[in-house]
Amino acid sequence: MTKLQPALRTSSLTKVYPGTQPVTALDRVEVAVPRGEFAVIMGPSGSGKSTLMHCAAGLDRPTDGHCWIGDTELSELTDDRLTDLRRDRIGFIFQSFNLLPDLTARENITLPIELAGERVDQHALRRVVDAVRLTDRLDHRPAQLSGGQQQRVACARALLGRPEVVFADEPTGALDRETSAELLGFLRRTVDDVGQTIVMVTHDPVVAGYADRVLFLVDGRLVDELPDPDPERVLDRMKTLDEVAA
Ligand SMILES: Nc1ncnc2c1ncn2[C@@H]1O[C@H](COP(=O)(O)OP(=O)(O)OP(=O)(O)O)[C@@H](O)[C@H]1O
């Protein structure tokens, strides 16, 4: 990937869910996320946020248009290559932490790297575990950890392999405000310190305030964006969009 190339790009991205009444969830979406940007996707319920994230992350196939991760065009990949790309080049953080209950925190964090058949860089592991403050919890299983600690394990897992893009879907939705702020502060620092690229879906203007840019979707279309967002301006913009969508 060259330096100036976006970490992620879509061109005319369209997704229609078939059925007796087909739903156009994405309608020719054009988006580019530069490397090292923390981008947030917002929009009313049903506006296509999850669909956009799933197509851009190679979890779902678009009906039309294209998605690139770096210089790799996803529609050119077979299902197996797409699985490899997700494992090797993308990190995921979801609201439900998706940890394996029988594995310790350490084993959960290193699992993607082990699955890729690679050696775990112990220095990188220590750095990530330190940053999310889990050093004294590594031998615990998920059931022995709080919700916030489980989400920190999921973050460490997503970040350990230094993926080109981390996709996060409402990652703080199940956390209290303080734990949420801690986690978002940590994600922000990975962007500022190591140039991590993050794309996050959220409904929460406070969460969006941690990002570099907010992208607004309405009815499957990218209708607006807000650089350097703060919660008040995000809230104002959302109110306007709700009126447009109503
Ligand atoms: N598997 C599916 N089959 C049919 N329609 C779907 C499917 N998944 C999503 N949709 C429809 O596509 C549109 C966009 O859905 P999507 O989940 O991407 O929106 P969203 O913005 O993430 O919503 P929310 O904020 O409520 O999670 C909605 O109208 C939804 O009903």
Nearest atom in ligand 1 to the alpha carbon of residue 26 is 14
Q: Tell me the C-alpha distance between 216 and 145, whole Å.
A: 35
State residue 242's pLDDT score.
75
Helix (H) or strand (E) holding 10, with range, is strand 8-17
Q: Tell me the C-alpha distance between 138 and 106, whole Å.
A: 5
Q: In what order do the strands lie in the sheet with 165-169?
A: 90-94, 165-169, 198-201, 38-42, 213-218, 221-227
Nearest atom in ligand 1 to the alpha carbon of residue 53 is 18
Q: Among candidates 165, 172, 169, 204, which has minimal Cα distance to 186? A: 172
Q: Tell me the C-alpha distance between 233 and 213, whole Å.
A: 12
Q: Whose CA is nearest to atom 25 of ligand 1?
A: 45
Nearest atom in ligand 1 to the alpha carbon of residue 201 is 22
Q: 21-30, pLDDT tens digit by residue?
A: 999 999 999 9
Q: Tell me the C-alpha distance between 244 and 241, whole Å.
A: 5
Structure tokens of 141? 């299983």
Residue 3 has pLDDT above 80, yes or no: no
How large is the angle between the packed helices 122-131 and 177-194, nearest 10 degrees? 140
Q: Whose CA is nearest to atom 2 of ligand 1?
A: 17
Q: Please state which architecture CATH assigns to domain 6-245.
A: 3-Layer(aba) Sandwich (3.40)
State residue 17's pLDDT score.
97
What is the distance in A from the centroid of ligand 1 to the CA of 220?
A: 9
Q: 40-71, pLDDT tens digit by residue?
A: 999 999 999 999 999 999 999 999 999 999 99
What is the distance in A from the centroid of ligand 1 to the CA of 99?
A: 25
What is the distance in A from the centroid of ligand 1 to the CA of 50?
A: 7
What is the distance in A from the centroid of ligand 1 to the CA of 163?
A: 27
The ipTM assigned to this model is: 0.98
Q: Whose CA is nearest to atom 1 of ligand 1?
A: 17
What is the distance in A from the centroid of ligand 1 to the CA of 182?
A: 30
Going by the DSSP 8-state scheme, the letter that residue 142 receives in this structure is G
Structure tokens of 206? 């406070």
Q: Whose CA is nearest to atom 29 of ligand 1?
A: 46
What is the distance in A from the centroid of ligand 1 to the CA of 109?
A: 30
State residue 246's pLDDT score.
65
What is the distance in A from the centroid of ligand 1 to the CA of 7?
A: 25
Structure tokens of 188? 């922000």
Averaged pLDDT, 12-33: 97
pTM comes to: 0.92
pLDDT band at 245 (very low <50, low <70, confident <90, very high): low
Q: 153-177, pLDDT tens digit by residue?
A: 999 999 998 899 999 999 888 888 8
Supply the mean pLDDT for the chain: 93
Averaged pLDDT, 66-89: 95
- 3 state SS of 161: coil
Q: Tell me the C-alpha distance between 213 and 55, whole Å.
A: 20
Q: Which residues line ligand 1 (CB under 6 A)?
A: 17, 23, 25, 43, 45-51
Nearest atom in ligand 1 to the alpha carbon of residue 220 is 14
Domain ranges of the chain: 6-245
Residue 2 has pLDDT above 60, yes or no: no
What is the distance in A from the centroid of ligand 1 to the CA of 65?
A: 18
Nearest atom in ligand 1 to the alpha carbon of residue 51 is 18
* Distances from the Cα of 181 to the Cα of 173, 186, 208, angstroms: 12, 9, 11
State residue 55's pLDDT score.
97
Contacts with 209 (C-beta within 8 Å, 6 or more apart), sequence order: 229, 230, 231, 234
